[in-house]
């Protein structure tokens, strides 16, 4: 019975991947079972990926994940009781050397480039996620999409809703003697339903950092920034798979048996990474909705004598309005 919910989720998500859904779905399973890769093609070596390595690139070229329907599927997994806690943030996919990739912009980065500026050249992605627990590192993204060159992160501004009521909170950190530990106070805004007690608000605010854990997991374990894709559309289709895999891990957390590496200690409350380490046993039981590949012969390859043309170099897009510094938002 515990497997049924995950199996049903995978069946529905499989249908929402559009064309090339078989290769795309096997690609997600290969990601979950592969801890380290050096290139995107390495995922074709996974025993769960039954196709050849070119199918990976064809999947990202041909697939059409239905982002809105997938988000609705994620929302259905959120319990109806209680008030959900949502957090929003944005991160960068650094591509400073991809001179032929369109829509590259200057993005905030924790690691600086030449000139000691905290920026990088690449693409920005905005995320809104459900924070399911009062503690721990789980953040479940409902939407993870690219910020175009004409947009700013999340576009969360109240300029078009000047009459919307809100509450402002001033937070000051004091030492034992009652003196301020930080010279500048922290200002928070509350908009929406009735505000919880103040002793609860600051705890809710601290949970916003959970989405940073997901960004680290996204880049280190789900291999989000490994492929050097050539078009923004390919990048978006690849990025649409990241929330899907995270939700699979969340639904599997209660049915997996902890499988620690030799140097790891056993855990009771499993993190996303620890659940991923045990997903092989789950896939062996529930199987996959993807259809086995059919032989189609060998591709003829490049036509002899056909000219090859270099791709055009694309300029870096400098936004007219500088986005605000990276500061996650939170809503309940």
pLDDT in tens, 267-306: 888 999 999 999 999 999 999 999 988 877 777 778 888 8
The candidate with the shortest Cα–Cα distance to 149, out of 178, 175, 123, 177, is 123
- Look at residue 162 in the predicted model and tell me its pLDDT: 72
Structure tokens that stand for 73 in this block: 């599927």
With a cut of 50, list the residues of the chain below it in pLDDT: none
C-alpha span between 44 and 55 (Å, rounded): 8
**H/E run at residue 153:** none
- Look at residue 267 in the predicted model and tell me its pLDDT: 84
- Look at residue 203 in the predicted model and tell me its pLDDT: 82
Predicted model pTM: 0.87
- Look at residue 327 in the predicted model and tell me its pLDDT: 53
- Look at residue 332 in the predicted model and tell me its pLDDT: 53
The candidate with the shortest Cα–Cα distance to 117, out of 327, 322, 282, 297, is 322
């Amino acid at each position: 019975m515990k497997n049924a919910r995950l199996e049903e989720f995978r069946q529905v998500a499989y249908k929402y991947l559009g064309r090339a859904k078989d290769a795309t779905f096997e690609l997600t399973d290969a990601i979950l079972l592969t801890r380290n890769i050096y290139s995107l093609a390495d995922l074709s070596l996974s025993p769960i990926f039954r196709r050849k390595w070119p199918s990976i690139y064809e999947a990202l070229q041909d697939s059409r994940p239905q982002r809105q329907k997938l988000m609705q599927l994620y929302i259905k997994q959120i319990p109806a009781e209680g008030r959900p806690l949502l957090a929003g943030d944005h991160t960068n996919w650094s591509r400073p050397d991809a001179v032929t990739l369109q829509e590259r912009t200057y993005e905030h980065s924790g690691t600086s480039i030449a000139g000691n500026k905290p920026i990088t050249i690449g693409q920005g992605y905005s995320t809104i996620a459900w924070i399911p627990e009062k503690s721990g590192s789980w953040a479940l993204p409902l939407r993870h999409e690219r910020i175009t060159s004409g947009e700013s992160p999340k576009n969360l501004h109240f300029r078009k809703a000047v009459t919307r009521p809100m509450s402002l909170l001033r937070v000051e950190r004091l030492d034992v003697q009652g003196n301020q530990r930080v010279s500048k106070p922290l200002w928070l805004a509350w908009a929406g339903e009735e505000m919880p007690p103040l002793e609860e608000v600051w705890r809710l605010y601290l949970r916003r950092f959970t989405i940073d854990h997901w960004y680290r997991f996204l880049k280190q374990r789900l291999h989000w920034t490994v492929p050097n894709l050539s078009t923004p559309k390919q990048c978006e289709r690849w990025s649409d798979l990241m929330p899907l895999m995270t939700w699979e891990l969340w639904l599997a957390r209660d049915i997996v048996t902890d499988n620690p590496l030799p140097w790891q200690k056993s855990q009771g409350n499993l993190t996303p990474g620890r659940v991923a380490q045990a997903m092989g046993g789950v896939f062996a039981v529930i199987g996959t909705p993807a259809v086995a590949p059919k032989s189609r012969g060998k591709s003829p390859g490049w036509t002899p004598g056909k000219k090859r043309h270099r791709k055009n170099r694309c300029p870096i897009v400098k936004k007219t309005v500088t986005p605000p510094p990276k500061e996650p938002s939170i809503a309940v």
